[in-house]
Amino acid sequence: MKVYDGSQSEETQNAKSKRLKVGIAEYDVTTEPTAMLTTSGLGSCIGIALYDEPTGAAGLVHIMLPTAEDVEGGNRAKFADTGVAELVDALEALGATRDTMRAKIAGGSDMLNFSENGSSIGTRNIEQVRATLDEYGIPITGEDVGGDHGRSLQLAVDSGDLVVKSANTESVVL
Amino acid sequence: MNVDIQSLGTFNQLAHEGAQQATQSLAQMTGIDAAVDVTKITLLDRTDVGEALEGREFVGVQFEYEGVLEGDTVLVFEDESAETIADSMMPGASENPEMAQSAVKEIGNIMMSGFIDGWADYLDSTIDHSPPTYIEKSGSEVLPDAPDAGDHRQVFVFKSEIEWVGKSVNFYIYMLPEYEPLADAMVESADTDDDAIPIDKLQTFNEMTTSGTQQAADNVEMMTGIPTAAEVTQISFAPIEDVPKQIGTDTYVGTVVEFTGRPSGYLMVLFDEVSAVNVAEAMMPIGMDEDELTDQHKAAIEELGNIMTSGFVDGWANVLQTSVDHTPPRLVHDMGRSIVDPLAAQVGQQQEHAFIIDSTMRTDDIEFAAEIHALPNEQELRAALDDLDVERADQTEASVEQIFE
C-alpha cells in the first residue's frame, strides 16, 4: 500500500512552498522566501498581512474583535489593536522596520449582522485595523474588505502577493 | 455536584497544552509538521463517543492511567499517516509490520507520556500510566469503552484534533476519564462557586437538546416524507477562538437565526451542498434533477431551516419554561468557518469561552446529513440551568421516552 499514490506533484510542491497555517487569534512571521502564510474562514474577522521588502520578512495575523480595551488579559492576537502591535513587534525582531512595512488587509464582512443599531463587528474591525496601522505609519497597499461573504487567504512570502479566495466568487490577488 | 466555568476553562487549557507538547515531541522525532487544531471538553452520551471517527481506519496506542485521575487515553493516527510516521523514524519500517508497530508504539509512548505528566503536574499529584498497548481498528472501535457512567447518563471526553500541516490526515487524542475522580478534581480546582453549573443539569440540558433535535428531525420528515433520525447530541466547551473550527472548511448551505430570551444566542442549521440539493429536491413537487444548487433549492432550504429551528427551540423553551423567540432565518451559502466566525465574534464580546451545542441528523434513504449548532450566551445559559427545576427535568426524560416509543 502506497501512502501518497499519484500525488507526487503535490508533495513536491509542498516541499517547495512550506505552508504556515495561522489560526484564529494567531499570528506568524517568517523570512523564508519559499513559505506561504495561510489563514481560512474569515467572516467578520480580518487577516492583516505585513510585508517588508528590504528584509523579505512577512507576517500574517487573524484578528477576531476590534479592541482589547474592554477585556482583561487574554490573547493579544485576538484583537485588531493588540494583534497588529504583536505582528509589528515580531517583524521588527526579524530586522524589518516600520518605515518600509506595507499592509494588505482582507475580511471584515458584514454577513450575519443581527445587531439592529450600531455598526457590525466586521465594520468596527476594519475601522480599528485602519486606525492602528495609521498610528504605526504603515500604508495599506491592497484591500478586499466588507461585503457579505467569507474569505481565505494565502500570503506568498517571496512576492508579498496576498491571494484572497471566496466560496462563490473568483480569487483576487492583492 | 457543581463545576465552574473557570475550571472547565482550565481543564480545557490543560488538555490543549498536553496535546501541544505531544505534537512537539512528534515534530522533533519525525520532522513532521503538525499543529493542534482544536481541543474541547465534551459531555455526551457514552454510546456516542467517537462518532467523528466513523468510516476510517486507525492505528495508535492506548494507555490506562490511575491516580488523581483514572481512565483510558488513546492517541490514534489514520492508518496511512502511521506508515509515514514509521518510515520517518526508521526508514523502511512500513514494509515490516512488526517494525511499523514498534515505531508507532515508541512515538505514541513519547507523545503521551508528556500529555499525562502535564495533567499530573497541574493537579500537583501523581498519575501512573500503563505501558502502551498497540491498537489497530476502524472507526470509533479504536476508542476504549467509555467509562461506566454509573448513575450518570453521560460522560466527559477530552478530545484534541491534530492537523498534519498541508496533508488531509489527522491525529486524535481522546482522554476518557472516570466521572467521579474528574468531577472531584474539577471541584478541587474551582476558585469560587459564583459561576458554577450543576453537572446534572448540564446533562438534562443535553437530553432536552436531543428531544429538540428529534422534533427538528420530525419536521424534516413531515416536509420531505423521508424518515429522518436525530443522531448525536453533545455539549462542548472551548475557547471562543476555537468555536469556528468546530465546523469544516467546506462550503455549507443553511440558515442562521439569533434567538432571544433566556438564553439568547445563535442557532445554525447547516447542510453540506450535496445534502442541500437532495433534501430540497425531496421537498419540491416536481424534481429539478439539478446537481447544482439553484435559487429554488435555496428557497426550500430556507423554509426547512425555519421549521427545523422552530422545532429545536420549542424543545428548549418547553423544558426551561421560558419563552425563546428567534429572528427570521438568514440564508447562508459559504465556507463553513466563515459562517460561524461572525457569530463567535458577537458572543466573544462578552465571554472568553463558549458552550457549543451540536446535533446531527441523518437518513438512510438518500445522501443527507444536517447539523444544528447552537451558541448560547454563557451567563444566560447558566442562569437558565440554575432555574431548571428537577421535577420538570424528569418530565423531559419522560417525553424523550415517549418520542422514541
pLDDT tens-digit series, residues B144-183: 777 665 666 677 888 888 877 666 667 888 888 887 788 7
How far off is chain A from B71, nearest CA to CA, in Å? Answer: 31
Q: Does position B395 have pLDDT exceeding 60, yes or no?
A: no
Domain with CATH 3.40.1550.10 in chain B: 2-188, 196-404
Contact B290, B330 (CB under 8 A): no
The verdict on B165 touching A (C-beta cutoff 8 Å) is yes
* Pairing mode, strands B251-261 and B324-326: antiparallel
Measured between beta carbons, which residues in chain B are less than 8 angstroms from residue A21?
35, 163, 165
Q: Does position B47 have pLDDT exceeding 80, yes or no?
A: no
Q: Does position A9 have pLDDT exceeding 50, yes or no?
A: no
- Minimum CA–CA partner of B87 in chain A: A3
How far off is chain A from B79, nearest CA to CA, in Å? Answer: 9
Using CB atoms and an 8 Å cut-off, which of residues 66-105 of chain B contact chain A? 80-81, 83-84, 94
How far off is chain B from A119, nearest CA to CA, in Å? Answer: 12
Rounded to two decimals, what is the model's pTM?
Answer: 0.81
Contact A101, A111 (CB under 8 A): no
Probe site for chain A from B165, B167, B246, B335 (most A CB atoms < 10 A):
B335
> How would residue B297 be classed by pLDDT, with cut points 50, 70 and 90?
confident
Please report the pLDDT score of residue A84 as a whole number: 95
Distance of alpha carbon B157 from the chain centroid? 9
Q: Does position B398 have pLDDT exceeding 80, yes or no?
A: no
Measured between beta carbons, which residues in chain B are less than 8 angstroms from residue A64?
240-241, 341, 344-345, 348
Contact B314, B259 (CB under 8 A): no
Among candidates B327, B340, B342 on the partner chain, residue whose Cβ is nearest the Cβ of A122? B342
How far off is chain A from B270, nearest CA to CA, in Å? Answer: 14
Which CATH number describes the domain made up of A20-173? 3.30.1330.200
Measured between beta carbons, which residues in chain B are less than 8 angstroms from residue A150?
334-335, 337-339, 341
Q: Which three cell numbers stand for residue B382?
A: 447558566
**Could you tell me which residues are beta bridge partners of residue B157?**
B42
Using CB atoms and an 8 Å cut-off, which of residues 136-155 of chain A contact chain B? 149-152
Q: What does the mean pLDDT of chain B come to?
A: 80
Q: Does position A36 have pLDDT exceeding 90, yes or no?
A: yes
Lowest mean pLDDT among B237-246, B278-287, B306-315, B396-405: B396-405
* Spatial separation of the C-alpha atoms in residues B169 and B171, rounded to whole Å: 7
Contact A40 B341 (CB under 8 A): no
The verdict on B327 touching A (C-beta cutoff 8 Å) is yes
Contact B166 A113 (CB under 8 A): no
Q: Does position B400 have pLDDT exceeding 60, yes or no?
A: no
- Over range B332-336, report the average pLDDT: 91
Place of cell 501541544: B20
Measured between beta carbons, which residues in chain A are less than 8 angstroms from residue B241?
23-25, 64, 75, 78
Contact B339 A112 (CB under 8 A): yes
Q: Does position A171 have pLDDT exceeding 60, yes or no?
A: yes
Cα maximum dimension of chain B = 66
The verdict on A104 touching B (C-beta cutoff 8 Å) is no
Q: Which three cell numbers stand for residue B385?
A: 440551568
Which residues of A are the active-site residues?
Answer: 45
* Spatial separation of the C-alpha atoms in residues B237 and B42, rounded to whole Å: 6
Measured between beta carbons, which residues in chain A are less than 8 angstroms from residue B97?
none
Q: Does position B404 have pLDDT exceeding 60, yes or no?
A: no
ipTM score over 0.85, yes or no:
no
- Over range A144-157, report the average pLDDT: 93
Q: Which CATH number fits domain B2-188: 3.40.1550.10, 3.40.640.10, 3.40.50.11260, 3.40.50.1820?
A: 3.40.1550.10
Q: Does domain B196-404 match CATH 1.10.10.10? A: no
Measured between beta carbons, which residues in chain A are less than 8 angstroms from residue B292?
none
Measured between beta carbons, which residues in chain B are less than 8 angstroms from residue A112?
256, 330, 332, 339, 342-343
Q: Does position A14 have pLDDT exceeding 70, yes or no?
A: no
* Spatial separation of the C-alpha atoms in residues B394 and A43, rounded to whole Å: 41
Contact A60, A88 (CB under 8 A): no
> How would residue A71 be classed by pLDDT, with cut points 50, 70 and 90?
low
* Spatial separation of the C-alpha atoms in residues B150 and B373, rounded to whole Å: 29
Contact A42 B166 (CB under 8 A): no
> Which element (helix H / strand E) includes B277?
helix B273-283
Contact B165 A21 (CB under 8 A): yes
> How would residue A43 be classed by pLDDT, with cut points 50, 70 and 90?
very high
